[in-house]
Amino acid sequence: MPEAPMPDADAPLWQAVLDRDPSPATGPFLYAVTTQGVFCKPGCPSRAPLRRNVRFYADAAAAEAAGFRACKRCDPKGERAALHAEAVRAACAMIEAAETMPSLAALADRAGYARHHFLRLFRDITGVTPRSYAEGVRARRLQASLAAGDRVAEAVAGAGFGSESRVYEDTARHLGMTPGAARRGGVGETIRIAHADSALGPILVGATEKGVCFIGFAETRDALEGDLRARFPNARVVPAEDALAATVRDVVAFVAEPAAALRLPLDLRGTAFQRQVWEALQTIPLGETRTYAGLAAAIGNPAAVRAVARACARNPVSLAVPCHRVVGKDGDLTGYRWGVPRKAALLAGEAKARKLSAG
């Protein structure tokens, strides 16, 4: 009777290679192909080699000591990625230092890449286009000048805008308020607030005349109000328990029993990219989740996974913009502004509600 084949101790590693899994559960490793003399990351897009030609190594140093060289496609040593990152950092510095927006051709020439290739690199690494990045730089300059008390015309010109009309055409995009209000540091804007208790602890709702601009929970009342004031440092904050009673009831009811999406008039302020992510979050159905990578793909920018995660972390209206419905690649809950246990509680409640509605 023939002997049974010996079990392959490296079977999990080999499966990760076959799956092209960039973050295998086994932890980081590299594999080498003896017939090609190269070593790769498990997520390498190259065609899978034959198992008998594969060797596994803990790191690049071990693979190189065995006589293998780094694959040029998957860049297992990260050398090409480091060059790309440095080129994009230099481009960002060039944009920051320029009085007016450098052309794409100038940025690409400075980086040493063709324009289309540089544009893809910049977008992949920063999550935005060079133009969007430059608009963010101009908006910061404008906000700083106005906060310092500069006249609107001078601040607009100094920030690199061609005319005041370009700022007034889309004040929310650049400042979240009119230039005059920004010049006064937000003075003149009123945010009404109301506190309540919920199944997840204290809740604070803040709203401008346009809509809800802040929802926080699970911290002390003072801490929640401090968070709101940090986001709107010079606005007038006034208690408005009666005026916001209906909104607060909706929020508390959603936490207790999320039978339907929390629909509220919102006043969202952020960059164009942040608002794009926040709008995508609002399309995730109750009781479902998306990965950060999936959300990045949904907004047409699949490489901007980290930028998407940062936008989720900056979400000012938890629950109404459901950033808790975004999870890690393997379903891990990862971080959450209000605590991972509360994220788990929210998702469990929504899953239960979805199951009951389906039954």
Half-sphere exposure of 39 toward its Cβ, with a 13 Å CA cutoff? 23
Question: Which residue is catalytic, options 40, 71, 92, 213?
Answer: 40
Determine contact, residues 201/218, Cβ cutoff 8 Å.
Answer: yes
List the one residue out of 37, 49, 43 whose CA is nearest residue 23.
43
Marked catalytic residue, from 44, 74, 312, 323 = 323
Q: Which residues of 56-89 are buried (b: 16+ CB within 10 A; e: fewer)?
A: bbeebebbbeeebebbeebbbbeeeeeebeebbe
State residue 274 phi and psi, 5-degree precision: -60, -45
Residue in 350, 293, 279 with CA at minimum distance from that of residue 326 = 293
Residues in CB range of 208: below 8 A, 6 or more apart:
189, 190, 191, 192, 267
Q: 30, exposed or middle or buried, with CB in 10 Å at 0-12, 13-18, 19+? A: buried
Contacts of 86 (CB under 8 A, 6+ apart): none
92 catalytic per annotation: no
Other CB atoms within a 10 A radius of the CB of residue 5 amount to 6
In the annotation, is 323 catalytic?
A: yes
Q: HSE of 191 in the Cβ direction (CA atoms, 13 Å)? A: 24
Residues with catalytic annotation? 40, 323
